[in-house]
Amino acid sequence: MKIFNKYLVILLLTITFTSCEFDLLDSPNEVGPANANIDFLLANSYLTFNGLMTGVSNNTMGVTRLVTMQANVYTADNGPQSWDGVWSNAYAGLIPDLDLVVIKAKEAGITLPEGVAKVLKAYAMMTLVDIFGDIPYTEAFQGTSNFGPKADKGADIYLAADKLLDEARTILAAPTGTLINDLYYGGSAAKWLKLANTLKVRGLINQRLIKPVTQAQIDAIIGADGAKGIAVPADDFKFQYGSNREAPDARHPYYSDGYENGGPGWYQSNFMMWTMILGKGDIVDPRVRYYYYRQDCDEESEDAFTLPCIFQNAPNHFDGFPFCTASADKFGDPGKKFVGYWGRDHGDGSGIPPDGLKKTAFGVYPAGGKFDADNCAQVSNAGKDGLKGVGINPIMMSSWVKFMLAENTLGNGGDASVLLEAAVKESIKRVMDFGAADAGTSTLKPTQADVDAYVAKVKADYAASSDKMNVLITEYWLDCFGNGIEPYNFIRRTCKPAKLQPTLDVDPGPFPRSQFYPGSYVSRNQNASQKANQTTPVFWDNNPAGCVK
């Protein structure tokens, strides 16, 4: 047995020798959490926040008729899975980074990054409440120690967000430290403070139906002249895209989609285009050639395969609305003043014919594409056209703030005409200024007279209308092209615009007053259960059922 004793000794020795080489637990492919850097974390947060707001817009522009809703019925528009990206972007992508920024900033003894982080966190949480209603907050962000964070009341999250905004406002009024590569405001604490103030006002106005907001309350935050909030285009909170085509594709996603190959995937909203070209009689919206680019100006000679509806009759419930395209003479455009405004009707979920190189594309604003100078040519040219994708994601613009304030004024029984006029002018100027780089000297650019005529028409309509809110909100809606969440909110707040194009299906089910919870939340969180339907309003919406269709 001596031999075996030797064996055992040597065996044990072997084990000891090798055990000490076993330190292979840290990945050689990644760095440790201790390397986290405030500016790099914020850089990611800027991009993630833009991704979040883009995802929100993509899912809300259909239901609000800014683009075509390609689902026959409302329940099919945004299924639970279609919200997974937004949910993940906000909860796992954005907020843990922002929370770490706050910790790191405190360690470093500077406050400016903390202020920015709190503004973005508040904005993200309020946005999620606006979409879903009650969602996790106090039990969230705890990793595996809580697999199933329970939902808090939307109103409580609004309160928490308001508190975050107040903390941020205190910091941003007298910040320490600097920001490197601030993708929104170039490191200006003053502008971040304006955004924080504006968001506080926006939060109040969102709740105005359940808690009326006085002008004094607003003035206390942004000043009587509004100048402490986002008041001029220079203060606009928007994400500026670049022109790099690949690695990374830094262009506006609408541009990357439509201006590369095979044509755009998006269908433009026939109703929105029709509203711009024919909704005000002879007055054409000056922004239409900036928003839209027509690839094919002869939609009525298409075959039944490419554009089947051109051979069909409008359903009875479409009386008074465009059908098939915005400029088809049989329906929306009997005088045949316009051609080629080829989108889809609300709720047209039919299959995709070979119309990619023909249907109307996103134009120069906000996608960074082409100004429509009656070229009528396809835009899928490997990313060579127009502004090459140097577009913007409009998130909170100065004209929208004016519309919002106007809405509150009108809601309180006041006169909103001054704010309305200022907002419309500011909107048109912003769009035309942005598009000037591609519109150049085109003779088809709207003239000052065209703009003035449009503004005058809005003013006259407002003055004459018994439904002034409808006039106001319709203009607000036209201004929000490229952003879905503001229209989704104000449509639910005001039940306006009053006459939106119906769905092709006579019975599309109720308009979603809040959205289904994301699949990843419902299926992975034991304390979450899916809503029975989309009719439950969020906490600030007390409008009657069916006020929006």
Partner 1 sequence: MKQVLFSLFVLLGSISMTFGQMTVSGKVTDSAGEALIGANVTAKGAAGTGTITDIDGMYSLRVPAGTSTLVFSYTGYDTQEVAIGSSNVVNVTMAEGKVLEEIVVTGFGIKKEKKALGYAVTTISSADIELKPEADVTRVLRGKVPGVNINQTSGLAGSGTNIIIRGYSSISGSNQPLFVVDGVPFGSSTSPDRGALGGNAAASSRFLDIDPNNVAEVSVLKGLSATVLYGEAGRNGVILITTKSGTHNNKNDKMSVFVEQGIFVNQIASLPQDQDFYGNGFDNAASGAFSNWGADVRKPGFQGTNLAADGTIKHPYDRPAITAFLPQYIGARYAYKAYDNLQGFYQKGLISNTSVGASARVDKTSINFTFSHRDEEGFVPLSKLKRNNLSLGTNTTLSNGLTLTSTFNYVGIDKTAPPAGASTSSNPNDGASLFSNVLYVPRSVDLNGLAYELPNNTSIFYRGGNDIQHPLWTLNNTRDLEDVNRFFGTIGARYPVTDWLSLNYRLGVDTYSQKNSYQINRGGPQVPDGLMVTSNRTNTIMDHNLNAQFNRKLTENFNLDAVLGVNLRTDNLDRTFAASSNQFVYGLFAHNNFITHQNSSDKFEEKLLGAFATATLGYKSFLYLNLQGRNDWTSTLEKDNNSVFYPSASVSFVPTEAFTGLTNNKVLDYLKLRVGYGTSAGYPDPYRTRSVLSTSTRDFLTNSGTVINTNSVSNFFGNINLRPEIHKELEFGLDAKLFKNLIGLEVSVYNKKSTDLLVDLPLDPATGYTSTSINAANIKTNGIELGLTVNAIAKKDVNLSFNANFTTVDNIVEELVDGVDQISIFSIFTTLGSFAIAGQPYGVIQGTSAVRHENGQRLVSSQGLYASDNNLNLLGNPNENYTLNGGFNFNYKGFGLSALVTYQDGGAMFASLPSTLMGRGVLQETDFDRFVPVIAPGVKADGTPNNVQTSAINHYWQNGGVFIDEMRIYDATYWKLREVGVSYKLPSRLLEKTPFGSAVISLTGQNLWFKALGFPPGANFDPEVSATGVGNARGFELMNTPTSKTYGGTLRFTF
Asked if residue 17 binds partner 1 (CB under 8 A), the reply is yes
Q: How far is the CB of 86 from partner 1 (least distance, A)?
A: 10
Task: State whether residue 269 is helix, strand or coil.
Answer: strand
The single residue among 147, 312, 460, 463 that binds partner 1, judged by CB under 8 A, is 147
SS (H, E, C) 326-394: CCCCCCCCCCCCCCCCCCECCCCCCCCCCCCCCCCEECCCCCCCCCCCCCCCCCCCCCCCCCCCCCEEE
Asked if residue 526 binds partner 1 (CB under 8 A), the reply is yes
Q: How far is the CB of 256 from partner 1 (least distance, A)?
A: 13
The single residue among 207, 233, 519, 535 that binds partner 1, judged by CB under 8 A, is 519
The β-bridge relationship of strands 292-293 and 361-362 is antiparallel
Burial of 146 (0-12, 13-18, 19+ CB in 10 A): middle
Asked if residue 22 binds partner 1 (CB under 8 A), the reply is yes
Asked if residue 76 binds partner 1 (CB under 8 A), the reply is yes
Asked if residue 143 binds partner 1 (CB under 8 A), the reply is yes
- Per-residue string for binding with partner 1, 241-260, x by CB under 8 A? xxxxxxxx-x---------x
Rounded distance between C-alpha atoms, residue 294 and residue 254, angstroms: 15
Kindly identify the residues of this chain, within the stretch 260-289, that bind partner 1 according to CB under 8 A.
260-263
Q: Pick the closer one to partner 1 by CB: 220 or 250.
A: 250
Kindly identify the residues of this chain, within the stretch 43-62, that bind partner 1 according to CB under 8 A.
43-44, 47-48
Q: What H or E segment, with its residue span, contains residue 547?
A: none
Q: How many CB atoms lie within 10 A of CB 20?
A: 7
Q: How far is the CB of 300 from partner 1 (least distance, A)?
A: 17
The single residue among 91, 184, 290, 403 that binds partner 1, judged by CB under 8 A, is 91
Q: Pick the closer one to partner 1 by CB: 76 or 498.
A: 76
Kindly identify the residues of this chain, within the stretch 168-207, that bind partner 1 according to CB under 8 A.
181, 183
Asked if residue 160 binds partner 1 (CB under 8 A), the reply is no
Partnered with residue 269 across adjacent β-strands are 344
User: 222-236: string of b/e by CB count within 10 Å (b at 16+)?
Assistant: beeebebbbbebebb
- Per-residue string for binding with partner 1, 404-443, x by CB under 8 A? ----------------------------------------
C-alpha distances (whole Å) from 405 to each of 70, 213, 243, 518 are: 33, 10, 35, 32
Asked if residue 35 binds partner 1 (CB under 8 A), the reply is yes
The single residue among 216, 449, 464, 506 that binds partner 1, judged by CB under 8 A, is 506
Q: What number of chain residues touch partner 1 (CB under 8 A)? A: 103
The single residue among 176, 207, 217, 240 that binds partner 1, judged by CB under 8 A, is 240
Q: By CB under 8 A, which span of 161-169, 396-404, 488-496, 500-508 interacts with partner 1?
A: 500-508
Q: Pick the closer one to partner 1 by CB: 88 or 217.
A: 88
Asked if residue 390 binds partner 1 (CB under 8 A), the reply is yes
Beta carbons of 341 and 292 less than 8 angstroms apart: yes
SS (H, E, C) 472-535: HHHHHHHHCCCCCHHHHHHHHHHCCCCCCCCCCCCCCCCCCCCCCCCHHHHHHCCCCCCCCCCC
The single residue among 107, 225, 282, 507 that binds partner 1, judged by CB under 8 A, is 507
Q: How far is the CB of 39 from partner 1 (least distance, A)?
A: 9
Q: How far is the CB of 350 from partner 1 (least distance, A)?
A: 9
Q: How far is the CB of 476 from partner 1 (least distance, A)?
A: 28
Kindly identify the residues of this chain, within the stretch 337-366, that bind partner 1 according to CB under 8 A.
351, 353-357
Cα end-to-end span (Å), the chain: 90
The single residue among 1, 5, 19, 464 that binds partner 1, judged by CB under 8 A, is 19
Partnered with residue 393 across adjacent β-strands are 239
Q: Which two tokens stand for residue 488?
A: 């989704």
Asked if residue 536 binds partner 1 (CB under 8 A), the reply is no
SS (H, E, C) 126-159: HHHHHHHCCEECCCCCCHHHCCCCCEECHHHHHH
Q: By CB under 8 A, which span of 38-46, 154-162, 412-420, 428-436 interacts with partner 1?
A: 38-46
Rounded distance between C-alpha atoms, residue 155 and residue 159, angstroms: 6
Q: Pick the closer one to partner 1 by CB: 94 or 428.
A: 94
> Residue 409 phi/psi, 5° resolution?
-60, -50
Rounded distance between C-alpha atoms, residue 139 and residue 136, angstroms: 6
> Which positions ≥6 away from 6 have C-beta within 8 Å?
none
